[in-house]
Amino acid sequence: MTAIRVAIIGANGRMGRHLCELTAVAPALTLAARVVAPDEGDGIPLAQLDPQSVDVCVDFSQRAAVAEVAEWVARHHKPWVLGTTGLSAFDEQALALAVAHAPVFLASNFSIGVALLADLCARAAKVLGPEADVEIVETHHNGKRDAPSGTALSLGHAVAAARGQDLSNVRRDGRVGQVGERPQGEIGFHAVRLADIVGEHEVHFGWGCERLTLKHDARDRKVFAHGALRAASWLVGKKPGRYGMSDLLK
């Protein structure tokens, strides 16, 4: 079987380096190109990437590069795995162009375990309904700048959707002072920043005299690279459209 040719965009970044290392040793994959910013070394800029040499692009570059990559993907109809988060409205417009011409796999977290956690949370939320209290606690390293994490918000969306809610209407970020009784249907978020923790997410359900906690613990950032490359292999040959981790689990 011919190996899938992968271009790693943002190859000099932390995730990019992991992706390059894992692609180089994966028997079903081959590293076709290391794509970097024009002023960086050890790779080539996107403008020099030969589309005929690539089967799929895996992109964990900076948000500022999203529009450029989206245009390239749309023009050459190449599958694109995108792990960049914090997209702006302009980025979403560029993403929509790419989705119309190529298969695009987008996720805030490429851990297979987190994808399973979201699925389990949705199932639990559907069974328990809005009468159950839900609190989401995420813990990350002390260098993480945003809170709550994109993964925590994705879990919140999974719970809210399963209960027929709009997360923006029931979300509560932390509590301080005289906040009163907890409203029914509320989904709470709490962020912990501690040392070098890669990522932990806990979703607590409480109702009646019972409590259920679902938890995922990422111990090495390579789990995200493994998931992204699994998504890349899966995406090759798919029709144009937007895909995510829930599609990968089907």
Q: What is the pLDDT of residues 92-149, one digit of tens each?
A: 999 999 999 999 999 988 999 999 999 999 999 999 999 999 999 999 999 998 899 9
Residue 1, pLDDT > 80, answer no
CB-based contact 79:58 (threshold 8 Å): no
pLDDT at 85: 80
Please return the burial class of 208, using the count of CB atoms within 10 Å of its CB with bins 0-12, 13-18 and 19+: exposed
Is 140 one of the annotated active-site residues of the chain? yes
Whole-prediction pTM value?
0.84
Q: How far apart are CA 106 and CA 53, in angstroms?
A: 23
pLDDT at 169: 98
Amino acid at 145: R
Residue 35, pLDDT > 90, answer yes
CB-based contact 83:224 (threshold 8 Å): yes
Cα→Cα distances 138→161, 179, 221, Å: 20, 21, 16
Length of the chain: 250
DSSP helix/strand/coil, 136: strand
Nearest to 156 by CA among 176, 140, 132, 134: 134
pLDDT at 86: 78
Q: Give mean pLDDT, residues 64-75.
A: 96
DSSP assignment letter at 86: -
Catalytically annotated residue among 18, 78, 140, 157: 140
Amino acid at 136: I
Q: Give mean pLDDT, residues 145-168.
A: 95
Catalytically annotated residue among 144, 204, 222, 226: 144
Q: List Cβ neighbours of 102 (8 Å cut-off, separation of 6 or more).
A: 73, 74, 76, 77, 78, 79, 80, 240
Task: Name all domains of the chain by residue range, CATH numbers in brackets.
Answer: 4-106+222-249 (3.40.50.720), 112-218 (3.30.360.10)
pLDDT at 150: 86
Q: List Cβ neighbours of 222 (8 Å cut-off, separation of 6 or more).
A: 18, 22
Task: List pLDDT tens digits, range 205-250.
Answer: 999 999 999 999 999 989 999 999 999 999 999 999 999 998 998 8
Residue 162, pLDDT > 90, answer yes
Is 215 one of the annotated active-site residues of the chain? no
